[in-house]
Amino acid sequence: MKLFDLDKNDRFLTDFSQTGSKTPETTGSAVENGESDPRPAEDPQPVHVFDFGNPYRPIAYPDPLPTPPRRRRMWPVYLVIVLLLIIAGCVWARWLNPYAQDARVRGYVVKVEKRGLFFKNYEGEIVTEGRVADHTYRADLRVSVPDDSLGRLLQSYQGSGIPVELVTERYYGSLPWRGETKTILVGIATK
């Protein structure tokens, strides 16, 4: 419900002589009764109308600065981002970051073979010197060799009886393209 109708013109500030509508002065006069107008038919004098403005119309101020859009609730987006960062950190710590680097093992190469269904890697078994001294010739170290040149070099020492020093890295988890064990061979040193 409108208290004030601002679309209508103000009756007191309207020039009725130019619009052809009935003015309060002509109501009930001879014009309504069908008689001719007693005034002479000459050009009307220009009437000066002063526009004092509509006091009920709001004042037009310059446009204010645009208001920023209403801020939506962003906590679900932040929660998803934090969860993804936590998952990425766990993946990095488990499968991509070695927890033991430059670990050296001295022993004899027992078996080296290339295995894998989709990712073919060399897998080797080593008997360490401590096991040889105990006369238990069971392979106690299994390594994965993702590098083919290192795998062929390790294969050349298989069954030769030459002690080999292996440089390895250990991970918490294994990846298919790195091999099936968590111990990865990164270098070979012979004595």
The pTM of this model reads: 0.55
Q: What domains appear along the chain, each with residue ranges and CATH number? A: 96-190 (2.40.50)
pLDDT in tens, 51-62: 566 666 666 666
pLDDT in tens, 86-113: 999 999 999 999 999 988 989 889 899 9
Residue 73 confidence class, pLDDT cut points 50, 70, 90: confident
3-state SS of the chain is CCCCCCCCCCHHHCCHHHHCCCCCCCCCCCCCCCCCCCCCCCCCCCCCCCCCCCCCCCCCCCCCCCCCCCCCCCHHHHHHHHHHHHHHHHHHHHHHCCCEEEEEEEEEEEEEEEECCCCCEEEEEEEEHHHHHCCCCCCCEEEEECCHHHHHHHHHCCCCCCCEEEEEEECCCCCCCCCCCCEEEEEEEEC
